[in-house]
Structure 1
Amino acid sequence: MASYHTRSNSLPSRQHPLIPEFEEQLCRLRSSEEASSSSVAGKLCGLQDLHDCVDKLLLRPHNQQALSRDQHEKCINELLDASLKLLDLCNTAKDALLQMKESTQELQSIIRRRRGGESSLSSEFKKFLKSRKAVKKALHKAAENRRTFSLLNKDEEIVSMLYEVHSITLTVFQLMFAFISGPKSSSWSLVSKLMNSTKVSCEDVNKSNEFASADASLNSLLMSHKMKKSDSVLDENAQNELQKLEMCIQDLEEGVESLYRRLIKTRVSLLNILNH
């Protein structure tokens, strides 16, 4: 990974202590090859720390002066436009996670009370799968909207850092969408091409994927209902998997909401610099 403190001749001779912290956070986000719920939630937390670091750097007079130069106005506008796309992704993720959480809770209620029998369980499972399809659609949309920053002056340290933050944020979103969507070969080939900074295989997604585990347990339960066989073990297993899934969704929701607030803060800082 490139070192930022050598990029600009205008930088002070002593490296600011936030620069190594930024590089460490960025390296950590790029290093993990896992795609489990804990790793995705961890990456969301890591993004929050990365954005906090950048926000502190944006408060430095040296960086504010650098960004306020006329030659960087187009760069900032590009970054502001990109930040809107990231906020849209946050809202898409929040809506999809909320819909899936509600479907998960309803499925648990149906299994627990055994109301409606097979037809009710099958109907709610279809709603659950519909939520998953909405996430896959968001993933494809995110892939299509990926952009490059032709106007960036990479000799300016803070501009290049802002680009890196946007790039890794988009990559983590793609990882999260792929994790929620589940390991499907058709969609996964698209994700793997985009995630050039994080190598993830289908096997990684299968491992510790609460969404895939919930699918498997629910399919077993539905088969049992269709065969008119009552199996308390399958009921209990489905309940356990759905509870794990609900906790996973809750962690992702909290991570996305916190990241959303960080993105807003960074956007406001850039707007203030642009307007001064």
Structure 2
Amino acid sequence: MDSFAANSKKSFHIRSNSLPSKPHPVVDEINENLRRLKASEEATSSSSTLCQKLDGLQDLHDSIDKLLLLPLTHQALVDNKSVDDLLEGSLKILDVCALAKDILSQMKESAHELESALRRRKDDMIDVQKYLNSRKMVKKAIHKALKGMEKTSSQKSDESLEIVSLLKEAETVTYNSIQSLLLFVAGPKSPSKMSRWSLVSKLMQPKKVANKEDGAYGNEVEMVDASLYSITGHKSDFFVQVEEVQNSLRKLESCIRDLEEDLENLYRCLIKNRVSFLNILNHFLNH
């Protein structure tokens, strides 16, 4: 499928192609989706807000696929020098989305294994350390990916055409949302430094209160990390009850399942968009 992308390096005749003075309804639809997603960017990342963002991205890319089916879009993309950038951008988003899927799958498996181990053997520190080692690997992979995303998202396009501008804006918003997801999964940088009292306070708070807090150690990922690091640091008294850790792990598994489902749906939308891009190029390369 992506062989067409390589062939797209051909020089196309560039004309001024922009949307008509009265936007097509699907353009209004895309702009509205973008507006909602941008408005949510400042919200504190929680499992629920991330699921909402992923749902919003699905709506956005469903609308984009409608735009890619319009004849005026075909002409604008093929005659425009930014077509290669758009294809490259769609592939990079697919790659980072696939990475996020892999990381979520790995985390869910690790959380399930630890929860099962603690259920069988209440004080098995080997399994706790195994989970923490897995988390370190996940964080390393995430921070490496985030560095690459920063370089990509910092690239600016001089393209002024409205269709291309709209698609590039959607690309940026998608990147920002996936970045928020990865930061959520990475969790705090130094959970082991959390104070004993701070952890106990967090664990004692009702969920509806904790979710509203902007401070660290408030979400499902962070609570598990903090609890486990405290267990390894206070092996003698186990002031954090293992049952509470098990409950946190089950909540984390449920959170990850929800994110996985929404991310998988988004991934399918992104593949559909890329196929539409390549079909446009294939049509014009053969005519």
Q: 1:43 aligns with which of 53, 77, 82?
A: 53
**Mapped pair 1:27 → 2:35:** yes
Determine if contact 1:78/1:149 at 8 Å carries over to the other structure: no
Determine if contact 1:210/1:244 at 8 Å carries over to the other structure: yes
Aligned partners of 2:59 and 2:232: how far apart in 1?
43
Distance 1:21 1:160, change over 3 A: same
1:193 corresponding residue in structure 2: none
1:161 corresponding residue in structure 2: 166
Q: 1:59 aligns with which of 51, 62, 69?
A: 69
Q: What displacement does 1:10 show?
A: 5.5
Aligned partners of 2:29 and 2:225: how far apart in 1?
40
Gaps of 5+ in 2: 1-15, 191-212
Count of residue pairs the alignment pairs up: 244
Secondary structure of 1:204's aligned partner: coil
Distance 1:10 1:86, change over 3 A: closer
Q: What displacement does 1:151 show?
A: 5.1
1:18 corresponding residue in structure 2: 26
1:269 corresponding residue in structure 2: 276
Quick check: 213-222 or 77-86, which moved more?
A: 213-222
Quick check: 143-152 or 103-112, which moved more?
A: 143-152
Alignment of 1:126-145 (within 5 A): 126-145=133-152
What fraction of aligned residue pairs are identical, expressed as a percent?
Answer: 48
Amino acid in structure 1 at the alignment position of 2:69: L
Determine if contact 2:18/2:163 at 8 Å carries over to the other structure: no
Aligned partners of 1:125 and 1:183: how far apart in 2?
13
Aligned partners of 1:126 and 1:52: how far apart in 2?
39
Gaps of 5+ in 1: 1-7, 186-202
Aligned partners of 1:114 and 1:240: how far apart in 2?
15
Distance 1:66 1:245, change over 3 A: same
Distance 1:13 1:252, change over 3 A: same
1:243 corresponding residue in structure 2: 250
Q: What displacement does 1:122 show?
A: 2.4
Amino acid in structure 2 at the alignment position of 1:68: V
**Mapped pair 1:172 → 2:162:** no
**TM score, norm. by length of structure 2:** 0.77
2:111 corresponding residue in structure 1: 104
Aligned partners of 2:143 and 2:96: how far apart in 1?
12
Determine if contact 2:94/2:267 at 8 Å carries over to the other structure: yes
Aligned partners of 1:261 and 1:234: how far apart in 2?
41
Secondary structure of 2:146's aligned partner: helix
Aligned partners of 1:87 and 1:9: how far apart in 2?
27
Amino acid in structure 1 at the alignment position of 2:231: L
Q: What displacement does 1:62 show?
A: 2.1
Distance 1:181 1:113, change over 3 A: same
Aligned partners of 1:22 and 1:246: how far apart in 2?
33
Distance 1:10 1:104, change over 3 A: closer
User: Once superposed, what is the RMSD of the aligned Cα atoms?
Assistant: 2.4
